Amino acid sequence: MLLVALGGMVGAPVRYLADRAMARRFASVFPLGTVTVNVTGSAILGALIGAGANHWLLAVAGTGFCGALTTFSTFGYETVRLAEEGAYSYAVANVVIGVVASLAAAFLGAGAAQLFLGAAHGGLP
């Protein structure tokens, strides 16, 4: 539990800072910050799984850091808010892009980790 808490203590502020940085850099109705942290967290978690990370690393980096970095609740809230404001195309795009990009990032992260580990051990998987 302590490892999860430690990872979360890092992931939560990173999520906040990344969201604020995206909002400052890109003035958009579309929730770029949330999409960015969700896709990034999915890629990291995929890489951890693809690399065969041990249970300690999965606890701190996977559950703790990635769990605090990514946010399904904000994704849901922002999608509903967009729909309530009449920005239906943005709401649909948020769902499609958020889900597809996050799944793709997890698969790519896992594949990249496996490729990297295969190359590091003298061959490709």
In terms of Cα–Cα distance, which of 75, 50, 55 is closest to 7?
Answer: 55
Q: Which residues are annotated as a binding site?
A: 67, 70
Q: Which residues are annotated as a binding site for Na(+)?
A: 67, 70
Average pLDDT over residues 53-66: 97
Question: Which domain range does residue 56 map to?
Answer: 1-122
Q: What angle do CA 41, 93, 8 make, to 5 degrees?
A: 20
User: How high is the mean pLDDT of the chain?
Assistant: 95
Judge whether 7 and 59 are in contact, CB under 8 Å: yes
Q: Percent of the chain beyond pLDDT 90? A: 92
The number of domains in the chain is 1
Does pLDDT of 82 surpass 80?
A: yes
> Sorting pLDDT into bands at 50, 70 and 90, what band is 118?
confident
Determine the Cα–Cα distance for residues 90 and 36; give it in Å rounded to an integer: 15
The pLDDT of residue 123 is: 55
